[in-house]
């Protein structure tokens, strides 16, 4: 059984049809900058399921204007927002989910990108946020391992998604990877999903 969350009506219009197409009954609002909404999601899951075997953290955000030009021009508010939504949200969700996961051989997966390690044009503050996300994964792994809960981050490379297409010059990155990759193709969403499924399996 799967549950889906969304932030705002625009995302609900995309998430709800996906959930319905696979028979998922739970589609819940969850603005990850609001602890009350996070807690409400996991209270609902506790009531409906009693426990939780897997959590997928597949979200990130930075203001569009922060993803072009020089990183030097990142604003304080833009920095805080990107780090809150893209990195701290993992910590907040895990904290709320843990009582439902502890002792169940449960697994958590998040998504990161190479821009956390190397400078990628126009990735800017998102690269910093992904570096923070990866550090969060390592520290959470140390906390969660003794509780029999695994956590991993997938760095699949550039993948054509709605969010990625918001990065200036992203198509050029895809074209370059296709030429240079040993398989002469880009990673697909299905490739990433299969990797997540493996990591989420008990």
Active site residues: 113, 123
CA 153 to chain centre: 9
d(CA 92, CA 94): 6
H-run or E-run covering 56: strand 54-57
- Where are the alpha helices (H) located in 102-165, listed in sequence order? 125-144
Q: Which residue has the tokens 């049809």?
A: 17
Helix, strand, coil content of the chain in percent (nearest 5): 55, 15, 30
């Amino acid at each position: 059984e799967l549950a889906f969350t969304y932030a705002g009506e625009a995302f609900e219009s995309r998430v709800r049809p996906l959930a319905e197409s696979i028979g998922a009954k739970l589609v819940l609002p969850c603005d990850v900058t609001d602890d009350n909404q996070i807690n409400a999601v996991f209270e609902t899951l506790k009531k409906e399921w009693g426990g939780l075997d897997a959590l997928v953290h597949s979200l990130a955000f930075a203001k569009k204007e922060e993803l072009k030009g020089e990183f030097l021009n990142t604003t304080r508010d833009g920095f805080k927002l990107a780090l809150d939504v893209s990195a701290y949200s993992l910590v907040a969700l895990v904290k709320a989910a843990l009582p439902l996961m502890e002792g169940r051989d449960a697994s958590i997966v998040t998504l990161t990108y190479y821009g956390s390690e190397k400078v990628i044009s126009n990735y800017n503050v998102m690269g910093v946020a992904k570096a923070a996300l990866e550090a969060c994964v390592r520290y959470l792994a140390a906390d969660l391992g003794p509780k029999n809960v695994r956590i991993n981050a997938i760095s699949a490379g550039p993948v054509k998604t709605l969010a990625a297409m918001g990065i200036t010059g992203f198509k050029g990155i895809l074209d370059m990877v296709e030429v240079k990759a040993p398989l002469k193709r880009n990673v697909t969403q299905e490739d990433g999903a299969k990797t997540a499924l493996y990591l989420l399996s008990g």
